[in-house]
Structures are given as structure tokens and as C-alpha cells.
């Protein structure tokens, strides 16, 4: 395996796209069951970087939304506490009340054909892996 910066960068981007294709499989499975996702909310870790958010949006074909909260796990706990303490009537109401969208990253249609091909290859490799394990 090459170890220069360009190849390591390409490997990192490929890994992120793989995560996006896995997310796309989940979204496809939900759609097959009649569940539509308008967007995916991301927070924490690598998801804090705008490039990662854009790559995931492009790979999964669904908008990625980041929230303004710097501590999303703590905010989630506070939201659950607000519902438990009857400060908010329901979880969806509390989520609307206490969260704020920071930015939305839409899938770039110019990259759609590339991601279609790579997603097809991703699924084919999964199938090949299943056949090997049988």
C-alpha cells in the first residue's frame, strides 16, 4: 500500500464514502418499507468537519444537517430530561424547542453518476463477501 499523502487522503475519502454507502443502504431499506428520510442529522467526531458532511451527503444522496450544539450528547440528555420533567409535552416538541440547524449539506448532482457506480460496486463486493463466507 502506498504511504504518500495523496494516497492516504484517497484512502480516507474512500472510507468516508464507504460509510456513506452503508448509510445509503439503510435509507434504501427504509424506503422499501415506506419510510422516507428527508435528511440525516450528524454530530460529533469526524462529522464536525464540513468536508466530511458534504462527502456523506454526496455518497448517500440525502441532505446532511448539522446542529448548532457543540455538545449533542448532552443536549440529547437535556431533551429527554425536559420530556420526563414535563417541560416539553413530547420528544418531537422538545427536539424542535431545543435544537437549531447550523448548516445543511445537499448532495451535489454532478457527482451522482460517480457515486451510483461506486455504490453498485459496494453492493457487489458485499455480495461477493457473503458468497465467500458461505
Give 48-69 pLDDT, tens digit per residue.
999 999 999 999 999 999 999 9
Domain boundaries, the chain: 5-133
In this structure, how many other beta carbons lie within 10 angstroms of the beta carbon of residue 117?
Answer: 10
User: Quick check: 105 and 64 in contact, CB under 8 A?
Assistant: yes
Confidence band of 89 (pLDDT split at 50, 70, 90): very high
Q: How confident is the model at residue 43 (pLDDT cuts 50, 70, 90)?
A: confident
Domain 5-133, CATH number (from 3.40.50.800, 3.30.1540.10, 3.30.420.40, 3.40.190.10): 3.30.420.40
Neighbours of 94 (CB within 10 A): 20
Amino acid at each position: 500500500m502506498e504511504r504518500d499523502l495523496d494516497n492516504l487522503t484517497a484512502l480516507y475519502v474512500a472510507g468516508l464514502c464507504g460509510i456513506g454507502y452503508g448509510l445509503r443502504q439503510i435509507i434504501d431499506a427504509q424506503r422499501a418499507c415506506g419510510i422516507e428520510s428527508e435528511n440525516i442529522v450528524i454530530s460529533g467526531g469526524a462529522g464536525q468537519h464540513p468536508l466530511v458532511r458534504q462527502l456523506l451527503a454526496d455518497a448517500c444522496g440525502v441532505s446532511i444537517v448539522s446542529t448548532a450544539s457543540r455538545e449533542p450528547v448532552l443536549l440529547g440528555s437535556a431533551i429527554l430530561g425536559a420530556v420526563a420533567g414535563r417541560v416539553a409535552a413530547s420528544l418531537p416538541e422538545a427536539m424542535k424547542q431545543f435544537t437549531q440547524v447550523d448548516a445543511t449539506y445537499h448532495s451535489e448532482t454532478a457527482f451522482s453518476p460517480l457515486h451510483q457506480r461506486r455504490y453498485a460496486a459496494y453492493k457487489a463486493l458485499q455480495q461477493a463477501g457473503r458468497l465467500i463466507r458461505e
